[in-house]
Chain A
Amino acid sequence: MRKMLSLITVLILGSMLASGQTRVVSGLVTDANNVPLPYASITVKGTTKGTTTDANGNFKLEAQNGDVLIVSGVGQKNKEITIGATNNYSVSLESSGELSEVIVTALGIKKDIRAVGYAVQSVGGDDLTFSKSVDVSASLAGKIAGVKLVGSPSSSYDNATITIRGINGLGVTNPVYIVDGTITDQSNVDMDNVENISVLKGPAATALYGQRALNGAVLITSKKGSRKGKTVVDFNLGAAFENVSIIPKYQNSYAGGYSYDNPVFEYDPAIHPAAWASFNGQNMLEYGADESWGPPIDGRQYRSWSSWYPGAKFGQLIPLTAQPDNVKDYFKTGTNLNNSVTVSGGGENYNFRVSYGNQYRTLVLPNTDRERHQIGLSGTYDISPKLSVVTDLAYTITRTKGQPYETYRNDGLNVTQNFNQWFQRQLDMKEMENYREPDGRVNSWNIGDPNATGDLKAITTPQYWDSPYFISAENYRTNNLNRLVGNIGFVYKINSDFRWETRIRRDFRNDKGDNRVATGGLQLDAYGIYENVFSEMNYESILYFNKTVKDFSFDAFIGGNIRKLKQEGVEASTAGGLTFPNYFNLNASVSRPNIINNYLDEDRITYREIITRSIFGKVGVGYKNFAFIEGTLRWDASSTLPTSDNSYYYPSVTGSLVLSELYKGDLRNIISFAKVRAAYATAATDLPFNEVNIILDNGSLYEGNPSLQLGNTYRSGAVRPALVKSYEFGADVRFLRNRIGLDFAYYQNNNTDQIINLIVAPSSGFSNAQINAGNIRSKGWELSLTGTPVQSKDFKWDVTLNLGRNRSQIVSLAEGLTNYQYGTTWNGTAINNRVGKDWGIFTGRTYRRYQAKDGSGNNVDNPNNGNIVVGANGIPLFDENQDLGTMLPDYTGGAYTTLSYKGFQLSFSLDFQSGGQFFSSTKMFNMGTGLSELTVGLNDKGNDWRLPVAQGGGRRFEKSVYANGSENTTYITARNYFYTSLQNATGENFILDASYLKLREVRLGYDFPATMFGSGSMIKGLNVSLIASNPWLISAPSKKYGVDASELEVIWSEGGQLSAVRGFGINVRARF
């Protein structure tokens, strides 16, 4: 019956065809194994018409003779069919999914995913940056399982960093960034040029890079020109604007000062000029206080700080009013302009791509700008059919002015710290903008006490803070960076089996800058300069072998590499002030300038030289498309190790089985691909430069006498390379015709025989001893889920979810050592690596809790047990060195997704961290100095706790007892409560949960259809997008204290966190 109907249909359709009209055609889409493909899409070329197949792979569509149908399916190669006489078409698609799914692995080798025995995850260009402002690390946030973002404040020019698979040493371990095979710095990457990023997660994946990539590698592949296509020109124009999004919630009820009482000017004829007699009784503030425990802001007439500077305002009274937006008023709107032009193309024997990009960015802080120009060139040219010359080069010039100062500082250069930690809430920014008085002096809100003296100069001398406007306008730093990274190489195809590649790679950086402290402020004027030249050459030669013999494929190479690194720098600063005001020159130094010859940070090392010579090789064998095994071996000799023992070998073995090759038929419909993999690798690490022998440190010359101190780290001169042993297992499974993919990995790294600067009792004469010991084990799992839940002609939804968990644990340190202190901060708070515990255990002060005892000292039940114990003065007692948990997150991860509807795309990415902690100085002082809105409230008597205790104010610790167990009835001042008492339990009060969930990037774009421009138009494509970066910190416990936990200064703490910003912009991409 059905056949009859079909026949009739055919006849009817046939008659329609004959009339040249549109008719309905039908068909069946199958894969290469003749399994029907559901949800494959069919479009009529050159039109917007189309449909999708049903659950059984069938489709129906209106078409006419000569129409070309494009048939596509997930994981399949597209196929075009032309409508002819028949009305029914069977379309068999070739799988593109696994058979041709390649991934970039170490040394830039593209490998079939089947043959990869370790975890590699990659993200393609469009998914990398939905919004334009992010750097490489931030662009990976949430997009790669197992990556933890260590953000940097979005209101600075810093790059974020990441850790991959947790922390693998006593210190924080970061991956290397490799651009087209050359190891370089992430700041050198122009995101517009990035084709693809592969993240190699473990030592097995990075074995061929050796020790440098021990903590993972971020492999960046640049876009290349195409040999086939015509020459195309791409423009990319972006403009974004950013504003401060997260600052602490301030109180606006109380003015600056140390106490509630309103200070009043008391005229004293003995010390004050007679003209001031009329000031007697005027309201003032404690101008010198950099806290806000002062009188209520109630509109009373008072003398602002500016009324003590000679001039029009002198002697004026103004109303004391709230300035809720004073901090916001200080920040500006930042601008981020990002433009690039690229020309790419090629011919039969060459391809090329040249690009120029520039970025101009100002921050929300005043007087900041950065200009960046980048020129890129890549290409290949076949000298002969066998020999090609290849190159990738990138030259970057970056000029930065006003990179914000961070951290807790005593020099006042971090203005955000000023606002959030030591400030007066009633200050009006408009009053401060003019930071220079007519006589040229720099003014400040933080002045002296007019009751103490009649000398205006003494009164108006700043106490602890300069005007923030003076700081940003005149106390800035600059940096000029020139960087060339690239390679030139030859590829020689010896025959069908052998290929020989030789490359010279260079990373060259010249970095110079200065910093200044202007004359007239609180700090002694000063000027410092530095210049640094970094150069790394790598000479690399590799012979590749590939051959397939019957069912076996062989894949091998042997190569060598010589790495030569040299860095030289000079850094000097004036001493004792400048000879003339604002004469910013070393020559202006009043005393002998300081020559800084110590290692400051990695970018500013004054001297180092490292040579590493390596020989490495690999043998891989595959059987059918089913089983793969691969082994690598690497030998390194390093100049930084003791000459007696400076070379070492390390191997890796990996394997994979493609289980889906074992079955066919219906199961393939459900589980379309399944691979299991396993890897074992070892890797060794050497030392930084010049760490074999005890160092001699220069001291400060005393009247021509040199001063020298023996270094504090004992070194025996016989340290060995550290060793990492790592294994991992994983599975890669795809479901429903590859529509859903699931990748799972479990790994464990044992970082043994670490080169530890063991902390020893300093009474030995040394604070540290360099030894080989310990085992830091990091283990965890990663899960990545990718899918296309919806795919129809017009609408497509792609989504990727990532989740990872890592535990880095201290299995052992050296013999007899159970704790390694990693860092310290306020009031005895420390972060430790402790044997048997997770990496990064916080220790510090907590409140002492009551425990009732009986006569013989045994614990007894008591309703007050667990309550805070206070001293006779009502201030809580505390216990030191209490365990406060770890900085390690429980889970990290994220998601990114793109929804496309016709020409529209909506993309966004989310990332999160669950668990883990950090120390917040901002919260500590924001509360301690009475700036936070949390410092305003009523005590348990119903009175304003900021009132003096004698007037019923003050606050007592609720549920607290004296040492004898009786209820605490002592009220203490609000300042004692929030400053002294909270800090007494610093650990309990200021170690915050670092969890966050952030919407990091959003992009809404529209592709103008090519038909719009007509076939003859110059314009080949146009996309306009609206973008947002950091639009929404959806949830974070630290948010209410004004700190974005995804942007911390360092991985475990912040000392004066810069504000987070939110950016919105527009981006236009055009192709010609």
Chain B
Amino acid sequence: MKRFNNIHVVLVLAVLFVSVSGCSKLDDFDDTNVDPTRVTVAATRAMLTNAIQHSIPVAAFGNSSGPAATTNTRSNGVANMYVQYLSEGPYPGGSLYNGLRFEYDTWYTGPLYNLQSIINYNADPEKMAVEADPINNGSHNNQIAVARIIKAFTYWHMTDRWGPIPYTEALKGAGNYTPAYTPQDVIYKDLFKELKEATAQIDNGEPPAGDIFLNGDLDAWKRFANTQRLIMALRLSKVDANLGKTEFAAALAAGVITSNNENFLYHYVGGDPNNYNPWYNNYTVTNRNDFAISETMVDYMKPLNDPRLEVYGEVLGARGVVGLEYGSDDATNIPAAFSRIGSYFRGDNSPAAIFTYAQVLLSMAEAAHLSWIPGGEVSAKKYYEDAIKASWEQYGVFDAVQFAAFISNPAVAYTPASSIEKILTQKWVHLYLNGSEAWAEWRRTGYPVLTPAPDYQSSQNAIPRRQAYPVSDATNNKANYDAAVTSLGGPDNLYTRIWWDKP
């Protein structure tokens, strides 16, 4: 009897033990697994801000590592070295074309998927009212339209680097973990369509909130989309002139940048380390003096007395702007010996130019020369000279007398015979540090004529015409990767030409 009692006591206590833990069901944990330090509602306005931070300015730097990217400028911002804007000091690499494969992973998982989600949420009956509610985030149409424009801009930048990329089947999340690659011509045509439809979709409702690029100015967004269309159209000059001509004219008619006041600049935030200009981070915050203005650039601009040179490069006292030899594998220390990039470009809040008036005018000059737009060589010359003036004004160095001398210098003066070379060379000068755009224009036209790096570390003694796919695609998306490489018509390297790049 005694023994029975003991067991009884134990059982009672065991039951007590379980119930003391304060739960009616052993597998019910309420919201234990919810993290109070994290946001739980993905407001589309915050997703838009994030997408802009990681796409629009990054494209200008040819850099896929986000706004705070610093030292990675070396590996990702190589286009600035392909077109010989910059030379490398102690650790030459990118300027010797030693990088072959370049990542685009963070484009897709970062800004592109955020933008796709904004588009999806604004069409999803549940999310429309919560994540994308129009009172806090802007009208559904305007949210979608702006997301489509930024998405088109980002994809355009990407396809110009790699050629065919996952596009039509991309960004479907769990719906497709192995998207096929879309040929570049299909992408281009779809991007024209997207830009056209997106500008048409903009309505009179509230502009999207969180728009840190154009601050909700919907007219500016239309102008941005049209300007992109215009520049994209010119890419087709060799491969599909008919389509290029049509799109160019349509874009122009729809309204592009018409003055320096309408330049599209991405503004970095002074005093905010998370939104510093990447060059500021590179030179000033982390003290990496890895880049100097190249001798190529200085040797071209100095004899012409181009006043932009002292904006582009650091002035080293009496020695002025001193360029560093391009494409040598000799290690060299830069500070004081060679000119870093100019302070205009590397302040903590120095803006990044995305599209500019001078760029548009130079494109129009070429279009006039090609008879894509009316006016012939007379207009071409005028657009060309206006462009240089706009460029000088943009950099704050315009002086009428100096300008007159500059454009009458035979090396600069417009002649129909050397039209393309002149226009593209001036475009190269103007687009300084927008390496990805300058590199695309060089590939399309072959101008300016550049000598490849003497100490090249790639498979050919030549300037790259493409970048190879990230190594992970060959393992994670192999069948589609293999098909894409086949469609390239050459090896997956730096030298197989993409669709619009014709000899």
Number of interface residues of A (CB under 8 A): 103
**Are A259 and B330 in contact (CB-based, < 8 A)?**
yes
User: Which of A463, A765, A980 contacts B335, CB < 8 Å?
Assistant: A463
User: Which of B29, B38, B110, B333 contacts A288, CB < 8 Å?
Assistant: B333
Given the complex of chains A and B, what is the CA–CA distance between A816 and B476 in angstroms?
9
Binary CB contact string for chain B from 316 to 351 against chain A (1 if under 8 A, 0 otherwise)? 111100000000011111011110000000000000
Binary CB contact string for chain B from 77 to 112 against chain A (1 if under 8 A, 0 otherwise)? 000000000000010000000001100111011101
Given the complex of chains A and B, what is the CA–CA distance between A818 and B316 in angstroms?
56
Most buried by A among B18, B49, B53, B101: B49
Given the complex of chains A and B, what is the CA–CA distance between A543 and B12 in angstroms?
12
Q: Which residues of A contact B316 (CB under 8 A)?
A: 452-453
**Are B333 and A449 in contact (CB-based, < 8 A)?**
yes
List 8 A–B pairs whose Cβ atoms lie within 8 Å, in order of A's numbering: A258-B331, A453-B316, A494-B3, A541-B14, A709-B110, A761-B476, A766-B113, A980-B457
Tell me which residues from 787 to 842 in chain A have a Cβ below 8 Å from any Cβ of chain B: 816-819, 821, 828
User: Which of A452, A762, A980 contacts B105, CB < 8 Å?
Assistant: A762
B418 lies within 8 A of chain A by Cβ: no
**Are B53 and A707 in contact (CB-based, < 8 A)?**
yes
For the residues of B in contact with A, the DSSP-based class is loop
Least CB distance from B350 to A in Å reads 16
Q: Which residues of A contact B53 (CB under 8 A)?
A: 699-700, 702, 707
A976 lies within 8 A of chain B by Cβ: yes
A291 and B29 contact, Cβ closer than 8 Å, known pairs A524-B285, A709-B47, A763-B165: no
**Told that A637-B29, A700-B67 touch, could you supply 20 new A-B pairs with CB distance under 8 A?**
A453-B336, A463-B333, A524-B286, A539-B21, A543-B14, A637-B27, A643-B28, A699-B50, A701-B274, A702-B49, A705-B210, A707-B53, A761-B179, A761-B477, A762-B105, A762-B472, A765-B109, A765-B112, A767-B105, A880-B100
Least CB distance from B82 to A in Å reads 19
* A606: nearest chain-B partner, CB-CB: B37
* B167: nearest chain-A partner, CB-CB: A763
Q: Which residues of B contact A709 (CB under 8 A)?
A: 47, 50, 54, 110, 114
B170 lies within 8 A of chain A by Cβ: yes
Given the complex of chains A and B, what is the CA–CA distance between A762 and B108 in angstroms?
6
Q: Which residues of B contact A819 (CB under 8 A)?
A: 475-476
Given the complex of chains A and B, what is the CA–CA distance between A764 and B116 in angstroms?
11
Most buried by A among B23, B40, B47, B274: B274
Given the complex of chains A and B, what is the CA–CA distance between A769 and B174 in angstroms?
8
**Are B67 and A258 in contact (CB-based, < 8 A)?**
no
Given the complex of chains A and B, what is the CA–CA distance between A459 and B39 in angstroms?
49
- Which of B241-249, B256-264, B265-273 is the contact stretch? B265-273
Given the complex of chains A and B, what is the CA–CA distance between A643 and B40 in angstroms?
18
User: Which of A271, A494, A523, A980 contacts B6, CB < 8 Å?
Assistant: A494
A458 and B336 contact, Cβ closer than 8 Å, known pairs A703-B212, A710-B42, A818-B475: yes
Please list the 8 inter-chain residue pairs (A to B) with the smallest Cβ-Cβ separation, ordered nearest first: A288-B333, A763-B166, A700-B274, A452-B337, A765-B113, A708-B46, A639-B29, A762-B105
Given the complex of chains A and B, what is the CA–CA distance between A288 and B18 in angstroms?
69
**Are B272 and A639 in contact (CB-based, < 8 A)?**
no
Tell me which residues from 386 to 441 in chain A have a Cβ below 8 Å from any Cβ of chain B: 410-411
Q: Which residues of B contact A705 (CB under 8 A)?
A: 45-46, 49, 210, 212
* A502: nearest chain-B partner, CB-CB: B17
Binary CB contact string for chain B from 43 to 57 against chain A (1 if under 8 A, 0 otherwise)? 101110110011000
Q: Which residues of A contact B330 (CB under 8 A)?
A: 258-259
Q: Which residues of B contact A539 (CB under 8 A)?
A: 17, 21
Interface residues of A (CB under 8 A from B): 258-259, 270-271, 286, 288-291, 410-411, 448-449, 451-453, 455, 458-459, 461-464, 492, 494-495, 498, 500, 502, 522-524, 539, 541, 543, 560, 562, 575-576, 590-592, 594, 597, 606-611, 613, 615, 637, 639-640, 643, 646-647, 689-690, 692, 695-696, 698-703, 705-710, 712, 714, 716, 758-767, 769, 816-819, 821, 828, 873, 875, 877, 880-881, 975-976, 980
Tell me which residues from 329 to 377 in chain B have a Cβ below 8 Å from any Cβ of chain A: 329-333, 335-338
Given the complex of chains A and B, what is the CA–CA distance between A258 and B328 in angstroms?
13
Least CB distance from A412 to B in Å reads 9
Tell me which residues from 107 to 137 in chain B have a Cβ below 8 Å from any Cβ of chain A: 108-110, 112-114, 116-117
Given the complex of chains A and B, what is the CA–CA distance between A701 and B272 in angstroms?
9
User: Which of B33, B175, B331 contacts A690, CB < 8 Å?
Assistant: B33
* B468: nearest chain-A partner, CB-CB: A880
Least CB distance from A950 to B in Å reads 14
Q: Which residues of A contact B170 (CB under 8 A)?
A: 763-765
**Are A560 and B166 in contact (CB-based, < 8 A)?**
no
B289 lies within 8 A of chain A by Cβ: yes
**Are A607 and B37 in contact (CB-based, < 8 A)?**
yes
Q: Which residues of A contact B474 (CB under 8 A)?
A: 881
Least CB distance from A479 to B in Å reads 22
Q: Which residues of A contact B274 (CB under 8 A)?
A: 575, 594, 700-701
Q: Which residues of B contact A259 (CB under 8 A)?
A: 330
Q: Which residues of A contact B45 (CB under 8 A)?
A: 705-706
Least CB distance from B340 to A in Å reads 12
Given the complex of chains A and B, what is the CA–CA distance between A762 and B106 in angstroms?
8
**Are A448 and B475 in contact (CB-based, < 8 A)?**
no
Q: Which residues of A contact B26 (CB under 8 A)?
A: 613, 615, 637, 647
Least CB distance from B209 to A in Å reads 8
Given the complex of chains A and B, what is the CA–CA distance between A324 and B53 in angstroms?
50
**Are B17 and A541 in contact (CB-based, < 8 A)?**
yes
* A497: nearest chain-B partner, CB-CB: B3
B473 lies within 8 A of chain A by Cβ: yes
B176 lies within 8 A of chain A by Cβ: yes
Given the complex of chains A and B, what is the CA–CA distance between A705 and B274 in angstroms?
13
* B289: nearest chain-A partner, CB-CB: A463
Least CB distance from A494 to B in Å reads 4
B386 lies within 8 A of chain A by Cβ: no
Given the complex of chains A and B, what is the CA–CA distance between A640 and B34 in angstroms?
9
**Are A708 and B43 in contact (CB-based, < 8 A)?**
yes
Q: Which residues of B contact A590 (CB under 8 A)?
A: 271
Q: Which residues of B contact A270 (CB under 8 A)?
A: 318-319
**Are A271 and B319 in contact (CB-based, < 8 A)?**
yes
User: Which of A452, A455, A708, A761 contacts B47, CB < 8 Å?
Assistant: A708
A562 and B21 contact, Cβ closer than 8 Å, known pairs A271-B319, A640-B33, A707-B49: yes
